[in-house]
Structure 1
Amino acid sequence: MTYPPEGFVPAESRARIGHGDQRFETAVMQTLTWQIQERSGMGVRVEDTPEDDEVRYNPVTFDEQGVPIAPASIGTPRVEKTTPDGTPLITAGTTATLTMHAFGQTVQAPVRVVAIIDERDRKGFAYGTLDGHPLSGEESFVVERTPDGSVWLQVRQFSQPASRKWRFVAPLLRRQQRVMAEKYLAALRGD
């Protein structure tokens, strides 16, 4: 991330998690059902999901060469609501509380999904932190299929401690973020 908001620290992790269309589709479904977080040792409690009839913004979509193929619109999201087995997919506006154990403490981290990435070869989501989270910022989880068929997971974030209490332990928070980023990548690599 080249230009994070002022005062926020960026971080990015990326790993190859497989190859081929089936691996891509499986990784996308795992990403859009909170499995990255769950396989990383977090608890996930979905608090609220937007109503089906809620109006949503659909951004401009682009083809492989970056040429716009569909204009931005207001309407229902293009992402399916459930997996083939009926598991609900993450949608923009979903709020959840992530629970993790770090440094002998149980930490509750409320988040809201702020974006769904739904391109031909890039799919995933981003969430922003809510009051009560130790950090203020955003984090994205994007599965990408490259022209050679390789499948990659990219985790990007920018953050800063959410309050004075958390500023005192900022180095520990940064360390924990690095640890979690590696766990996220390992979750889809199958480590």
Structure 2
Amino acid sequence: MDQFTYDERGATDRPFPERFDGGWPSGYTVMVESHELPADDPSAPFVALTEGILAWELHRRAGLTMQPDAERAAPGVRVVSGLGVGPARIKAPCRVIWAREPQLDGAGRATPGQRGGFGYGTLPGHPVTGEEGFYAELTADNRLVFICSAYSVPSSPLFRLAAPVTRLTQRYVLSRYVKAAQELAGLT
């Protein structure tokens, strides 16, 4: 089993109502993006978004290739994502650290005050070292929010030189994640 490329694991595991404005390992660049997805009744969109995140569809719809060891994200599952085309494709191996399924009440509706999704950490060969989390949140006051968090540093001197491009690429992919989250929730 591939070893993680960093020691500070698990900081993306933030069950509701844990906040995202602190508690990150020092020495990393931290990114947290939160986007409310307006819905009249957010229960079904929350479940659909969580299921899409766990089934790798968020990533696929954002334009990444995904080669997972399993159909759903679960602790221990290895996945290699890819961005680019042909020989210019950058491969990014990761292993899932935590995953959270949607919690439903007796009527099959999502209970407010929860987050679903998963977080994964980098393995050898990834261009950065660190962790990323993907969350569907159903707030206590019944709003749907998509959140992405990451803490990372370049994995090698070459990638340190390319850090500005890497950050731009991360921002671009994040914008694609937001669009994919809206689609998965059925809100486009």
Give the TM-score normalised by the residue count of structure 2: 0.74
Q: 1:34 to 1:18 in 2, by over 3 A?
A: farther
| Structure 2 counterpart SS, 1:172 | helix
Q: Secondary structure at the match of 1:136?
A: strand
1:128 aligns with 2:148: no
CA distance in 2, matches of 1:29, 1:181: 19
Q: State whether structure 2 residue 167 is matched by structure 1 residue 174.
A: yes
Pairwise mapping of residues 17-56 of structure 1 onto structure 2 (< 5 A)? 17-19=37-39, 20-46=42-68, 48-49=69-70
Does the CA-based 8 Å contact 1:14-1:185 persist in structure 2?
Answer: no
Match of 1:115 in 2: 98
**Length, aligned pairs only:** 151
Q: Could you say what secondary structure the match of 1:11 adopts?
A: strand
> Aligned with 1:5: secondary structure?
coil
Contact kept in structure 1, 2:50 and 2:102, CA below 8 Å: no
Q: Structure 1: which 5+ residue stretches go unaligned? A: 50-87
139-148 vs 14-23, greater mean Cα deviation: 14-23
SS at match of 1:89: coil
Shift of 1:3: 3.9
Q: Name the CA shift for 1:153/1:107 in 2 (closer, same or farther; >3 Å).
A: same
Residue matched to 2:111: none
Paired residue type of 2:37: I
2:25 maps to amino acid: P
Give the % identical residues.
27
In the alignment, which residue of structure 2 is the partner of 1:153?
Answer: 146
Q: Which amino acid aligns with 2:46?
A: F
Q: 1:178, 1:90 → 2: CA distance?
A: 23
Alignment partner, residue 16 of structure 1:
36
Tell whether the 8 Å contact from 1:109 to 1:134 is kept in structure 2 after alignment: yes
Considering only CA atoms, is the larger Rg found in Structure 1 or Structure 2? 1
**Larger % of helix: which?**
2
Q: Residue 101 of structure 1: CA displacement? A: 1.3
Q: How far off is 1:118 after superposition?
A: 4.5
Deviation at 1:2, TM superposition (A): 2.2
Q: Distance in 1 between matches of 2:99 and 2:151?
A: 17
How big is the alpha-carbon RMSD for the aligned residues of Structure 1 and Structure 2? 1.9
Residue type of the alignment partner of 1:39: R
